[in-house]
Amino acid sequence: RIVHAVQCRLAVRGKGPPILANTPPEDRTQNIIIAIDGPAGAGKSTVASRLAGRLGVPYLDTGSMYRAVALLALRDGLEPPLDERAATHVINLMDRHRIEVEAANGATVILVDGLDVGTDIRSPECSLMASAVSAIAEVRKALVPLQRELGLQKGGVMEGRDIGTVVFPDADLKVFLTASIDERARRRHGDLREREMDTSFEEVREQQQQRDLQDTSRADSPLQVARGSVVVDTTGLTLDEVVERLFEEVVRIR
């Protein structure tokens, strides 16, 4: 029922720079699946999209799918925490609206009822609501199969909280990115300021901690280090250094 309401389309747009120059094109990253998990603010999105661009494979930000559901909930006046009644409300909203996701080389495009909501889903309110809706088992049950389908079609770099544990436990490469809470809050605060969203550092840090707690303690698919993951603490590293490190891991496994 819900799956039917959520439509998914895959379109690989643009071309990343050539990779793995010594490998024939057909063998390069054919359907390679790279899972990147970790807490909010660890640098996952930037690292995952840059790595995907460098490898010339799709990039899928699975958090944007939970954020799209969160946006529907916010627009309908719901507020976290969500009780059972609110959870049913969220599931009904997913039935009534259409969420489409497109995994592109450099970005994940997310549409709600045909409109690009890429900016709206980035607000602090939407972050907290995304964490709340992602704890609803039926929401995950609807979104996870779509994520698997997208991954199986073309492979790519997939980023989220449960990619290596639940969505693709057999991924070619599993990465757990983390960083200290202060560093993560600093980065998120910087991002928000760049987008002229006025929030204090303390507020961002507190919201980040709240999300960490929710994302790691929920019953369904909590954030955990997947077995066999390469764990990278990005505190004090530049994003370029992290991308380079992961690129080397990809070269090693190919």
CB of 91 to ligand DC, least distance (A): 16
CA distance linking residue 96 with residue 108, whole number of Å: 22
Q: Site for ligand DC (CB under 6 A): which residue of 49, 105, 108, 134? A: 134
- Integer Cα distance of 115 and 137 in angstroms: 26
Report residue 160 as tokens. Answer: 């989220």
Asked if 146 is part of the footprint of ligand DC (rule: CB under 6 A), the reply reads no
Nearer to ligand DC, 40 or 171 (CB): 40
Question: Nearest approach, Cβ of 173 to ligand DC (angstroms)?
Answer: 17
- Starting at the edge strand found earlier in the chain, the sheet holding 59-61 runs 59-61, 156-160, 33-37, 173-178, 230-233
By CB under 6 A, tell whether 49 contacts ligand DC.
no
Pairwise CA distance, residues 34 & 46, whole Å:
14
Nearer to ligand DC, 19 or 234 (CB): 234
Report, in Å, the least distance between residue 146 CB and ligand DC.
11
Among 154, 161, 189, 205, binds ligand DC (CB under 6 A): 161
Q: Of 4-12, 124-132, 173-181, 200-208, which part binds ligand DC (CB under 6 A)?
A: 124-132
Contact window for ligand DC (CB under 6 A) among 27-35, 46-54, 159-167, 171-179 = 159-167
- Spatial distance between the Cα atoms of 101 and 111, rounded to a whole number of angstroms: 6
Task: Please report whether residue 234 would count as binding ligand DC according to CB under 6 A.
Answer: no
Minimum Å gap between C-beta 251 and ligand DC is 26
Closer of 102 and 215 to ligand DC (Cβ) = 215
Tokens of 253: 């496994």
Could you count the other beta carbons within 10 Å of the beta carbon of residue 222? 15
Let me know: does 212 contact 202? Beta carbons within 8 Å: no
Contacts with ligand DC by CB under 6 A: the residue count is: 15
Return d(Cα 253, Cα 5) in angstroms, integer: 38
Residue in 6, 33, 34, 40 binding ligand DC, rule: CB under 6 A: 40
Angstrom distances, CA of residue 74 to CA of 77, 80, 90, 128: 5, 9, 10, 10
Out of 59, 66, 168, 176, name the contact with ligand DC by CB under 6 A: 66
Q: How far is the CB of 26 from ligand DC (least distance, A)?
A: 30
Distances (CA, A) of 222 to 37, 76, 94, 250: 11, 26, 22, 26
Binding positions for ligand DC, rule: CB under 6 A: 40, 62-63, 66-67, 127, 130-131, 134, 160-163, 211, 215
